[in-house]
Amino acid sequence: MLERDGPYRQEELLAGVIAGLIGDARHVAIGAASPIPAAAALLARERGNGRPQVSLLGSRRQSFFTDGGRELFDCAGQGRIDVFFLSGGQIDGEGNINLVGIGDYEHPTVRFPGSFGSSYLYYVVPKVILFRLEHSRRTLVEKVDFISAPGTSPDNVHRPGGPFALVTARCLFTFDSRRRRFELASVHPGHTVAEVADNTGFAFNRPPHVPVTSAPSPEMLRLLRTVVAAQLTEVYPRFAAEVFGVPQKD
């Protein structure tokens, strides 16, 4: 787990950042092994008085899906999911993600879990938020070794979906679809622009002044540590225990 930074944990900071990116979405879906995005979506719902609808795969209480991935893809294809989260073993400056492996395709040096439905969801979900805790030149590369899902498409391709932002443990990037590049939006407390540049393998745009990411408000922390933490225990009991102190059931 990440270290505590003053009165809040970095997980809480990142959940607050992502909740802000979700904005006024109607429906947010979260895949497996995504506790921080899940916390962010549940936080956004609490702050929005029940909006957005949250579909957390693997949950019986926080999802109306009864058939998992197939219903997720069906809803996404119908335009009924506004926000989804993707990650990758590698992510490059054009928003391409690699979920297959590093090195030669036939004889990779590292094998990742696989692309699953990433390329499909990347095309049809309007706001895809990329999330990768490790921010290093190993993960944020100039060019991915294999494109599991492309960040952009030719102008003559109908594509309602694509990358919206990239959140890491060091900073927040937004995606400029016109320039087809990431732009540094803010650096998290305790980090610097120079540090981000040193640890990023791709070139990115940046404004003259890069702000510091806003810390979570007291009300945000209250919601995360009470209502959201209790909801997370069903799917992420260890995360809820380590981050929020919720006792794990035997």
Beta carbons of 234 and 205 less than 8 angstroms apart:
no
What residue spans of 23-104 are helical by DSSP H?
35-47, 69-77
pLDDT of residue 250: 62
pLDDT of residue 66: 81
pLDDT of residue 67: 77
pLDDT of residue 136: 98
Burial class (CB in 10 A: 0-12, 13-18, 19+), 80: middle
pLDDT of residue 2: 43
pLDDT of residue 64: 81
Beta carbons of 119 and 75 less than 8 angstroms apart:
no
What is the pTM assigned to this prediction? 0.94
pLDDT of residue 6: 60
Q: Domains in the chain and their CATH numbers?
A: 4-244 (3.40.1080.10)
- Tens of pLDDT along the chain (250 residues) come to 344 446 999 999 999 999 999 999 999 999 989 999 999 999 999 999 899 999 999 898 998 888 778 899 999 999 999 999 999 999 999 999 999 999 999 999 999 999 989 999 999 999 999 999 999 999 999 999 999 999 999 999 999 999 999 999 999 999 999 999 999 999 999 999 999 999 999 999 999 999 999 999 999 999 999 999 999 999 999 999 999 999 887 6
Beta carbons of 224 and 244 less than 8 angstroms apart:
yes
Identify the CA nearest to 160 among candidates 52, 85, 78: 78
Give how far Cα 124 sits from Cα of 102, 158, 191, Å: 27, 10, 34
Burial class (CB in 10 A: 0-12, 13-18, 19+), 16: buried
pLDDT of residue 69: 80
